Amino acid sequence: MLCRDSCAVCGESLSMRGKGGMVFMGERPALQPRLRAIADLVPPGCRLADIGTDHGYIPVDLLLAGRIAHAIATDIGALPLEHARQTADRCGLTDGIDFRLGDGLAPVSLQEVDTVIIAGMGGDTITEILSAAPWAREGPLLLLQPMSKAEVLRTYLPEHGYAVQAERLVADKGILYPILTVRGGSMLPAAPDEAWGGFLLQDDPLWGLYLDDRLLRLRRAASGLARARDSTAAAKREEVCRVIAALEKKRGAWENADSR
């Protein structure tokens, strides 16, 4: 299926960049690295819901590639959802996507989907979405991509009946983003260094850089707590310093293993 000529996509040598992550080039739009990494994890033939779809780039890409036959795209905002409709319309895919206005997973039911993407928002917001939809623990594959506060999400998941099956990192515009593959299930609680440093990332080539970024943030936090006059600041700083020490140990072990 090709995009309509009127959108200057098909049959043109020109490109058009959509806000947020898609470049229309030739017959198939090209996703930015963060969105491409998420899309590549979507199982072929699945029943997909893209939560907080924004411009609808991932479901449009997957439909154009023939990876899925239909998708549900939701957003809490009417304007982003209209942008998603426009993206689909440019590519002649309006009938392939069910656009739904609503908060988080509220517009979706378990019977409709087996794969759910929740991406492009803070880890704390993702936890709120999952807490409001307990059925998400009952079977669907969850692809979770926090833009910030990943440590909040990693702590939340094992405490609320979710098991992290895989995690990977992707670099996009100089920033490293984690993507977690999750299902309902049991796992051990996340230790503080796991919450900050990630699950199952030892073989990821970007893990060393990710740990460097985490350590930088934690050292800044420790420095701020050292100057704070709050009565609890000293205890908080000790906790942060313990996490720093654990991540430094992991960073060293990872570097030594990588050099062998």
Residue 66 has a pLDDT of 94
* Residue type for position 42: V
Q: Tell me the three state secondary structure of residue 83.
A: helix
Give 18's strand partners.
Answer: 22
Q: Is the pLDDT of residue 61 over 50?
A: yes
pTM: 0.89
Q: Where are the domains of the chain?
A: 5-190, 202-260
More confident residue, 28 or 200: 200
Residue 38 CA: distances (Å) to CA of 117, 176, 180, 193: 8, 13, 9, 25
pLDDT at 231: 85
Residue 17 has pLDDT above 70, yes or no: no
Residue corresponding to tokens 């930088």: 216
43 to 23, 62, 118, 138, 220: CA distances (angstroms): 23, 10, 15, 18, 40
pLDDT at residue 2 greater than cutoff 60: no
Residue 151 has pLDDT above 90, yes or no: yes
The reported pLDDT for the residue numbered 168 is 98
Using CB atoms within 10 A of its CB, is residue 240 exposed (0-12), middle (13-18) or buried (19+)?
buried
Residue 176 vs residue 2, higher pLDDT:
176
Q: Which residues lie closer than 8 Å to 118 by C-beta, 6 or more apart?
A: 51, 52, 104, 126, 129, 130, 142, 143, 144, 145
Q: What CATH topology corresponds to 5-190?
A: Rossmann fold (3.40.50)
Q: What is the pLDDT of residue 255?
A: 87
Q: What percent of the chain has pLDDT over 90?
A: 82
DSSP conformation letters of 25-38: ETTEEEE-HHHHHH
Which pLDDT tens digit goes with each residue over 199-250? 999 999 999 999 999 999 999 999 999 998 888 999 999 999 999 999 999 9
Report the alpha-carbon distance of residue 103 to residue 28 in Å, rounded.
30
1 pLDDT higher than 50 = no
User: Average pLDDT of the chain?
Assistant: 89
Mean pLDDT of 67-94: 93
Q: What is the DSSP letter of 14?
A: -
- pLDDT, residue 28, reads 58
pLDDT value for 134: 95
